[in-house]
Amino acid sequence: MVTSRWTAAPAQTASLRRRGPVLERAILDAALEQLSTVGWNGLTMEGVAAVAQTGKAAVYRRWPSKEDLVADALRAGLPRFEDVPDLGGVREDLLELCRQAREAMFSRPGFALRAVIHECDQVQAERFHAVIFNGVVEPSVKLLHEIVTRGIERGEVRPDAANDYVFDAIPAMMMYRSKMRGSEWDDLEMEEMIDQLVLPLLRPTGS
């Protein structure tokens, strides 16, 4: 009986071994989890390997540095902003877009992204500039642009409101208040931001 128990263990271990895309997905998920819990400064390749239940050699074979691993983890994990809200009015569309942004900010990839933004030094931050710009900034600005342009066509928004300062206002405010004020952006706070800050920026003169 003793012999049977000990000979069965290697077979069971082999059956649980992951390879290829399955293992890579587990490592990327582990990197996001570590970023969202211990932050950039606390993340190590060894810690990621432990969470992914693999050896650190398997991590280093695929990603030679912590920066390479985190960049790929963010690319794979960041939420996609693709569908433009169309609820019949610019206020309702902006509120729905803000709700989507809130869900993204407080998701695991969102916490991971903020760890990178807040903790990386200037040199490290440069490594992630393209990831953040292509994965977050550009898609969100594109949706804002479409909402504002549609509002201009309906006469709700003044024609010169489609500019970078207006497009920066919502993301900048949400990031600032989240970091500096600990805001979790409940529905009332989003409505106040849209009504008191954004809509006055957008309205035609005299309306």
Q: How many CB atoms are closer than 10 A to CB 193?
A: 21
Give the closest residue to 203 by CA, choosing from 171, 159, 157, 160.
Answer: 157
pLDDT, position 192: 96
What token pair was written down for 124?
Answer: 């490290």
In a domain, 1, yes or no: no
Q: Which residue segment(s) compose the domain that 120 sits in?
A: 90-202
**What end-to-end distance do the CA atoms of the chain give, in Å?**
86
In a shared domain, residues 95 and 23: no
Query: Same domain for 163 and 197?
Result: yes
- Report the pLDDT value the prediction gives residue 4, as an integer from 0 to 100: 38
Same domain, 198 and 122: yes
Looking at the chain, the whole-number percentage of residues with pLDDT higher than 70 is 90
For 40, the token pair is 């950039």
Domain shared by 145 and 114, yes or no: yes
- Tens digit of pLDDT for each residue in 123-142? 888 888 888 888 888 888 89
Query: What residue has token string 């497009």?
Result: 167
Q: Are residues 147 and 69 in the same domain?
A: no
CATH number of the domain bearing residue 153: 1.10.357
What's residue 3's pLDDT? 42
Residues 115 and 67 in one domain: no
Q: Are residues 163 and 106 located together in one domain of the fold?
A: yes
Look at residue 19 and tell me if it is in a domain: yes
SS3 156: coil
At 20, is the pLDDT very low, low, confident or very high (cuts 50, 70, 90)?
Answer: confident
Q: Are 97 and 143 in contact (CB under 8 A)?
A: yes
77-116 residue pLDDT tens:
988 877 889 999 999 999 999 999 899 888 888 889 888 9
Q: How many domains does one find in the chain?
A: 2
Tell me, yes or no, whether 58 and 102 share the same domain.
Answer: no
CB 94 within 8 A of CB 147: yes
Residues ≥6 apart with Cβ < 8 Å to 102: 174, 184, 185, 190
How does the average pLDDT of the chain come out, rounded? 87
Q: How far apart are CA 194 and CA 201, in angstroms?
A: 10
Structural domain contains residue 81: no
